[in-house]
Amino acid sequence: MGYIQDNVLRILNSLPQGIEVVAAIKGRQVDEVLEAIGAGIKIIGANYVQEAERLYSRIGAGVSWHFIGKLQKNKVKKAVRIFDMIETLDSVELAQEIDKVCFKENKKMPVLIEINSAREEQKSGIMPESLEQFIKELAGFQNIAIMGLMTMGPELKNPEDMRQYFRETKELFEKIRFLNLPYAQVKYLSMGMSASYEIAIHEGANIIRIGTRIFGERVKQPHSNF
């Protein structure tokens, strides 16, 4: 059995019911991604539109595509054509652009709102205390379907230290669910990566995003064009 196939099966077999796995594919080759799909991966997570385009032309729409990177407004048009969900909505301006493009393309884009759960200045995402206001500002966008929240959490050596940020994001998730906003389905909570997904699931994640534990350590290619 191949290394990637083996990893995927081991992860899928270990998960409780109702948890969806996004395979984070940055820097991976098409053959690696196809091996993961062959073993049961149904959602591909891409950080870059250009990289996704290249893979999409080989892999197609038989799997779901989630955007998990930082989306630039000038890439929205291409992103809307490829992705089934944008997990990283982090500004009203971006929402406006997605809404505009989706209107033209006659689509409704499912999105997750990215939360900056550790309130890190250099990182993107909505601050926890600003979420309620932010989500209210999204009320008018007919071509966006708010589906839940996503967080990265801080990069910490000990994944156990991330638990509090996952827990706080889950609390926010429950809080906005309780608002019962007619335009927001609060259904998905995407958090946890290779080192932290067990903890994230324990804290309420139902989407986890895994790269290294599926594909192995990434070869560092500082100026790679993928």
Ligand X SMILES: *Cc1c(COP(=O)(O)O)cnc(C)c1O
Binding residues (CB under 6 A) for ligand X: these are 24, 26, 47, 68, 152, 193-194, 209-213
- Taking the least distance from each CB to ligand X, the nearer of 71 and 141 is 71
- Taking the least distance from each CB to ligand X, the nearer of 26 and 167 is 26
- Taking the least distance from each CB to ligand X, the nearer of 32 and 143 is 32
Residue 143: Cβ within 10 Å count: 18
CB of 92 to ligand X, least distance (A): 21
| Pairing of β 184-190 and β 144-151 | parallel
CB of 138 to ligand X, least distance (A): 21
CB of 22 to ligand X, least distance (A): 7
Residue 42: Cβ within 10 Å count: 14
CB of 220 to ligand X, least distance (A): 13
CB of 159 closer than 8 Å to CB of 151: no
137 three-class SS = helix
CA angle centred on 150, ends 117 and 23, rounded to 5°: 125
- Taking the least distance from each CB to ligand X, the nearer of 143 and 193 is 193
Q: Which two structure tokens, joined as six digits, stand for 178? A: 């309780």
